[in-house]
Amino acid sequence: MIHSDKNMRQVFTIFCTALLCLPVSAACAEDHQNLKAFPPAKQGGLRYVLQLPHKERDEEGNFRVEIFVGKDMLTDGVNQVRLGATIEARPLEGWGFTYYEVTSFGPAASTLMAVPPGTPRSKQFVSTSKMIPYNSRIPVVIYVPKDGNVRYRIWTAPEKTEAVPEG
């Protein structure tokens, strides 16, 4: 049985290699041969492009990418805030690729903890997220409304799996 904190951390450890805004990665992705298959952003929208670091095909199963789509908002600094939006996976017709799209942002939802008097408001990146497979052979393309922003992080699973006891 897995009971120690060390084993639990190994199973659930996140190796966060980057939490970056995608325009930084976009410079590397601009030259990608498959990028021309993706259309430019629609009027009133933005296109973000992420080229993931190269991994061998047999390695990619140990990685996932979490994409965050959101915007900077003033919050009370106490409550957890989540942006109302859905990141939809869509097929790129005729190519066999997938792109991701957020067509609009809905209202933000927040926990309702009491805020101590005098607590200053703070600017936070408020977002919704989606976990997608890691594929370093094609760019990850995300279309968002013009006031949106995109970030990501890479999750890594350990190679070793743990047995679950029967019971």
| Secondary structure E strands in 16-121 | 20-21, 45-50, 63-75, 81-83, 88-92, 97-101, 108-110
- Name the most confidently modeled range: 3-12, 22-31, 62-71: 62-71
Mean pLDDT throughout 24-38?
Answer: 64
Euclidean distance between CA atoms 142 and 165, whole angstroms: 41
pLDDT in tens, 104-121: 999 999 999 999 999 999
SS3 call for 72: strand
- As a whole number of angstroms, the distance between CA 138 and CA 132 comes to 13
pLDDT in tens, 74-92: 999 999 999 999 999 999 9
Show the tokens assigned to 163.
């047995």
pLDDT at 130: 97
Domains of the chain, first to last: 10-108+122-156 (2.60.40.550)
The mean pLDDT value of the chain amounts to 84
